[in-house]
Amino acid sequence: MNKRIILALLVLVLVAGGTIYKLYFNQTTGITATGTVEITHTDIMPKVSGYLTTLTVKTGDSVTTGQVIAKIDRPDLTAQLLRDQAALDKAKVQLAELEKGSRSQEITEADANLASAQSVFEKAKSDLARYQALYDSGAIAAQQLDASRSSYQVAASALLAAQSKKSLVNEGSRIEDIQAGRHEVDRLQAIVNASQTQIADTVIINPLNGVVLSKNYELGEYVAPGSAIVTIGDMSDCWVKVYIASTQLGLISIGQSVAVKFDSFPDKIFTGTITEISDKAEYTPRQSITERERTNLVFAVKVKLPNDDGVLKPGMPADVVIK
């Protein structure tokens, strides 16, 4: 009986000792929080609408920067560019004519017209003087003198017009006309550039190296501007976001190394680096798990992870241990 009592007391002592050890001597030091793997991803969206005539990737494909992802059929934009280019070419020809000034044929014609008008004027002037003398002597009537004077005035006006025409031909195009022509060329060039840009936008180019996470359209489907044709993820830009209680914020710092564990790799510990600590407190998100009470205010913390081999996938749960 005494042995039984001693054995029972011994068991009680061991249980009490284990409980005390767990409560006071075996507390886990540091912080443990759970989050999920995230990566930088981009939705590849067209700027113009149309039907997909080319789609070069599928889900899971690796892609590189500058790779053609898709093409959109827009024959109306091609016709628009031809129209705009023709208008630009015409404006350039007209500007060239303005800048060259008068042609040699125009100068020759102006000289001939001026010489003819000068000759007619001289004859009308001579006739007027002769008729005036005859009228003064009473040899002709006043009507004949008036007709001669009228012919003289017409010849004088024709000479003035020929002289003005000759002056315009010699001066060439006005500076204002040339400047207006240049502005018109610039305006039409801008229109052509805009049309070329629209046509270039029918070819969808990948902006980053990564993996196709999802393909949202098929060949022949109609796409609108802003609709995501595919989603590309940069697997090398990988991190885990966790939430740390405000009472533990003093235990962490930017650049601090932490251990990260994954259920998919039970025998491997990844080393991450704290790269961001939020400046704003928030209530603990439901999907976050911490060792503190969930009602505490927490701060989001970003832990960067190396993933050059691409073994870490978006959405994988991870335990972050900060000591």
**CB distance 256 to 322 below 8 Å:** yes
Please state the domain extents for the chain.
29-40+235-322, 44-74+200-223, 79-197
Per-position pLDDT tens, the chain of length 323: 566 666 666 656 665 665 554 445 444 456 889 999 999 999 999 999 999 999 999 999 999 999 999 999 999 999 999 999 999 999 999 898 887 766 667 777 888 888 898 899 899 999 889 888 888 888 888 888 889 899 999 999 998 998 888 777 666 667 888 889 999 999 999 999 999 999 999 999 999 899 999 999 999 999 999 999 999 999 989 999 999 888 888 889 999 999 999 988 988 999 999 999 998 888 766 555 444 544 468 899 999 999 988 889 999 999 999 88
133's CB contacts (< 8 A; 6+ apart) are none
pTM comes to: 0.60
Distance CA(16)–CA(39), nearest Å, equals 48
Distance CA(28)–CA(273), nearest Å, equals 21
**CB distance 44 to 229 below 8 Å:** yes
CB atoms within 10 A of CB 135: 16
Alpha carbon 21 to its chain centroid, in Å, reads 64
| CATH fold of 29-40+235-322 | Elongation Factor Tu (Ef-tu); domain 3 (2.40.30)
Residue type, 298: V
Q: What digits encode the pLDDT tens for the residues 77-92?
A: 999 999 999 999 999 9
Q: What digits encode the pLDDT tens for the residues 199-241?
A: 999 999 999 899 999 999 999 999 999 999 999 999 989 999 9
254's CB contacts (< 8 A; 6+ apart) are 274, 275, 276, 277
Q: CATH says 44-74+200-223 is which class? A: mainly beta
**CB distance 128 to 148 below 8 Å:** yes
**CB distance 274 to 303 below 8 Å:** yes
